[in-house]
Amino acid sequence: MSFDVQSIRQDFPILQSQVYGHPLIYLDNGATTQKPRQVVETMVQQYYTANANVHRGVHHLSVVATDMLEQSRETVRRFINAESAQEIVFTRGTTEAINLVASSFCQQVMQAGDEVIVSTMEHHSNIVPWQLQAERKGIVVKVIPMTDDGVLLMDAFEQLFSEKTKLVSVAHVSNVLGTINPIADIIRIAHDHGIPVLVDGAQSVPHMPVDVRALDADFYCFSGHKVYGPTGIGVLYGKREWLDRLPPYQGGGEMIGTVSFERTTFNQTPYKFEAGTPNYVGATGLAAALEYVEKIGMNNIAAYEADLTQYALQQMSQIEGIRIFGPMEQRGSVISFLVGNIHHLDMGTLLDRLGIAVRTGHHCAEPLMHRLGIEGTLRASFGIYNTHNEVDALVAGIRRVASMF
């Protein structure tokens, strides 16, 4: 399928909206994406025709709902090229997936003084869970430094390993800088030291092909709502040997084998990590979203968004007084910027009055902001339905707002 952005836009009814009398220009895809009708209609259809609790029932609706959930798991497996559907754990999103690994991995593998390596550009979701484990268990968090333009220092990364290192946990793509980290190299170096790697794929899976086996990732996670799917559903991929080894994250129904007041045995992977009634309709919606972007083609999406981002960088760099953060090459479809001395919140508020939705603030990456010596930025982040005309409108909007100061 060739990439037809106008045809794609027709699948997203919200893009026909007006904001303060202006056509909506939605450039906050790094926070969440809009949903195509195909995803919404799939979920509505399940609620109307196949809604029943899964795995526990022998009646027809339960069997159908269970089949749909497991078909969705298989869709995810295929999408990221996992070896087995048993390596796919459904979570509420990337945040819960990282917390799951932090809790279970630290419980099973790490002792006081053991180390986890993260990077300077991590989202709080890949910082705070490890800090919680540092308080509870006494583990140590070490940080990969970066250059001023947002590139990880790989020589320094290699120097961080010690006999106490137990895990590397890094973002595939920075949600602030757009930096595409050399994740295959990071995994190879870690494996050379005998250390597993967890990859935060929240900002990569929506924008580029991801093959967890080609990367040789030990754990890889992403969120449904950032890849045109529903909120409240996400994925943790884990190599089977790791998932089998780790203890459950939560207790309850679904995740058990047998229960008595004396002891409990646990279900097999992945169910031992899915306590309680799963978000089975959300899983169906996620599968529909993945099938939607598969039909367009992830390579087509990557090429289109790369072209759009380069165009935006070229046009925005001509704005007087603008500072664009992050590398100019090897970057995803995220542009964080400031203009002169205008506060990001003021600029974002005024762009909103022009119908242009961008994100403002520290983007859940305060340590990165401290490294850059700023409080926050504006962030424009692109998706499959954004256009060159919308980039032109953003540039014109920034210039118009800047002229007010």
Neighbours of 330 (CB within 10 A): 14
Confirm whether 364 is a catalytic residue.
yes
278 prior amide bond cis, ω within 30: no
One of 154, 322, 364, 374 is an active-site residue; which one? 364
Measured between alpha carbons, how far is 76 from 280 in angstroms, rounded to an integer? 13
Extract the tokens encoding 106. 């630290």
The two tokens of residue 46 are: 């399940």
What does the alpha-carbon distance between residue 362 and residue 371 come to, in Å, rounded to a whole number? 12
98/334 Cα distance (integer angstroms): 22
Cβ pair 151, 343 in contact under 8 A? no
Neighbours of 228 (CB within 10 A): 28
Question: d(Cα 368, Cα 19) in Å, to the nearest integer?
Answer: 32
- The string of DSSP letters for 5-48 reads HHHHHTT-GGGG-EETTEE-EE-BTTT-----HHHHHHHHHHHH
Q: Cα separation of 80 and 91, whole Å?
A: 16
To the nearest 10 degrees (0 to 180), the angle between helices 280-296 and 60-80 is 40
Quote the CA–CA distance of 65 and 46 in Å, as a whole number: 8
Residues 224 and 281 sit within 8 Å (Cβ to Cβ) = no
Q: Give the rounded distance of the alpha carbon of 69 from its chain centre.
A: 21
Residues involved in catalysis: 364
